[in-house]
């Protein structure tokens, strides 16, 4: 079986080196190469590769931004490629993610290919990568979404609430709203869990935006946001929401 592979690096020489080394192993089929994070998002979501060599440090949209943008739709196996970055290396180690430190030797590259092949054959668990994305989002309070052909960077503090509607998710901010074509459960997976919480099967709120929980009769409750917006609180979520709102901050 061919392992469909995409190579992402903003440095042409670094990109060409990886492409050249991949030619020595016929089990890897290159289906795309990208010199920017934006191009990487489009290529990964259209080609849906099995494996991506992903440069971490790129201008505009870096490697973590690429992961944030693709995670709700398609999360391939990732081999991070980076110059020495203490935070990144610690994060990769903590989440069992494979990485190549520039400049890397041929032996280390072959070892990475071997690991990738084994993980793909055995069925890898992308929850570790999703956990890495969530951790990065929580530490940097940054969310990346794809909407109307654009890639938009949002600070977590800008988002009030999120609602699912048919095949779309509507992200409601104080100044502007965005429509994203994906499932709310997929977006929930990459949101910082310490900031956002499901209050209804189709609604997620930013806990920092919650003013109070109010009864509205017949055993029903609403969540009142600082903006004055009233949102329904699902019965199965009530206790968890009350506990979390009481510990915000």
Q: Is the pLDDT of residue 248 over 70?
A: no
CB 64 within 8 A of CB 41: no
- The total domain count for the chain is 2
Show which of 78, 100, 135 is a domain's final residue: 135
Task: Say whether pLDDT at 93 is over 80.
Answer: no
pLDDT of residue 249: 40
Residue, of 32 and 126, whose pLDDT is higher: 32
Q: Can you give the CATH number for the domain in which 233 is found? A: 2.40.50.1020
- 56 and 38 share one domain: yes
**Shared-domain flag, residues 83 and 55:** yes
Confidence of residue 39 (pLDDT cuts 50, 70, 90): very high
Structural domain range at position 51: 3-135
- Residues 28 and 115 reside in one and the same domain: yes
Of 137 and 48, the structure prediction assigns the larger pLDDT to 48
Same domain, 37 and 120: yes
3-state secondary structure the chain: CCEEEEEECCCHHHHHHHHHHHCCCCCEEEEEEECCHHHHHHHHHHHCCCEEEEECCCCCCCHHHHHHHHCCCCCCEEEEEECCCHHHHHHHHHCCCEEEECCCCHHHHHHHHHHHHHHHHHCCCCHHHHHHHHHHHHHHCEEEEEECCEEEEEEHHHEEEEEEECCEEEEEECCCEEEECCCHHHHHHHCCCCCEEEEECCEEEEHHHEEEEEEEECCEEEEEECCCCEEEECHHHHHHHHHHHCCCC
Sign of CA dihedral 232, 238, 240, 242: positive
Q: What gap in Å lies between CA 140 and CA 132, rounded to an integer?
A: 12
Q: Is 203 exposed, middle or buried (0-12, 13-18, 19+ CB in 10 A)?
A: buried
Average pLDDT in the chain:
86
Task: Give the list of residues 6+ apart from residue 245 with CB closer than 8 angstroms, or none.
Answer: 207, 210, 213
CATH of the domain at 37: 3.40.50.2300
| Cα–Cα–Cα angle for 24, 25, 29, rounded to 5 degrees | 110
49 and 9, same structural domain?
yes
Last residue of a domain, one of 116, 135, 154: 135
Q: Are strands 168-173 and 177-180 parallel, antiparallel or unpaired?
A: antiparallel
Q: What pLDDT does residue 140 have?
A: 66
- For 69, how many CA atoms within 13 A lie in the half-sphere containing its CB? 26
Please tell me whether residues 99 and 208 are part of one structural domain: no
* Beta strands at 230-233 and 220-225: parallel, antiparallel or unpaired: antiparallel
Least trusted range by pLDDT, from 35-39, 66-70, 108-112, 169-173: 66-70
Q: Are 222 and 213 in contact (CB under 8 A)?
A: yes
Do 7 and 127 reside in the same domain of the chain?
A: yes
| pLDDT, position 91 | 62
Out of 135, 170, 203, a domain closes at 135
Higher-scoring residue by pLDDT: 97, 155: 155
pLDDT tens digits for 94-139? 665 788 888 889 999 999 999 999 989 888 777 777 777 777 776 6
CB 53 within 8 A of CB 35: no
């Amino acid at each position: 079986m061919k392992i469909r592979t995409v190579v992402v690096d903003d440095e042409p020489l670094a990109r060409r080196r990886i492409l050249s080394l991949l030619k020595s192993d016929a089990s890897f089929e290159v289906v795309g190469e990208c010199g920017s994070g934006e191009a990487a998002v489009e290529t990964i979501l259209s080609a849906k590769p099995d494996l991506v060599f992903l440069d971490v440090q790129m201008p505009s949209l870096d490697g973590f931004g690429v992961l944030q943008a693709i995670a709700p739709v398609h999360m391939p196996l990732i081999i991070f490629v980076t110059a020495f970055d203490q935070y990144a290396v610690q994060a990769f180690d903590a989440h069992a993610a494979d990485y190549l430190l520039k400049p890397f030797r041929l032996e280390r590259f072959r070892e990475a290919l071997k690991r990738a092949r084994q993980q793909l054959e055995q069925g890898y668990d992308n929850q570790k990568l999703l956990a890495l994305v969530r951790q990065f989002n929580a530490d940097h309070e940054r969310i990346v979404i794809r909407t109307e052909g654009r890639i938009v960077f949002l600070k977590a503090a800008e988002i009030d609430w999120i609602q699912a509607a048919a095949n779309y998710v509507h992200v409601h901010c104080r100044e502007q709203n965005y429509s994203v074509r994906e499932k709310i459960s997929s977006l929930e997976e990459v949101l910082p869990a310490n900031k956002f919480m499901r209050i209804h099967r189709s609604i997620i709120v930013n806990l920092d935006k919650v003013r109070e929980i109010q009864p509205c009769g017949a055993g029903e409750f609403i969540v009142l946001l600082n903006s004055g917006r009233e949102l329904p609180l699902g019965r199965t979520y009530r206790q968890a929401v009350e506990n979390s709102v009481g510990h915000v901050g």
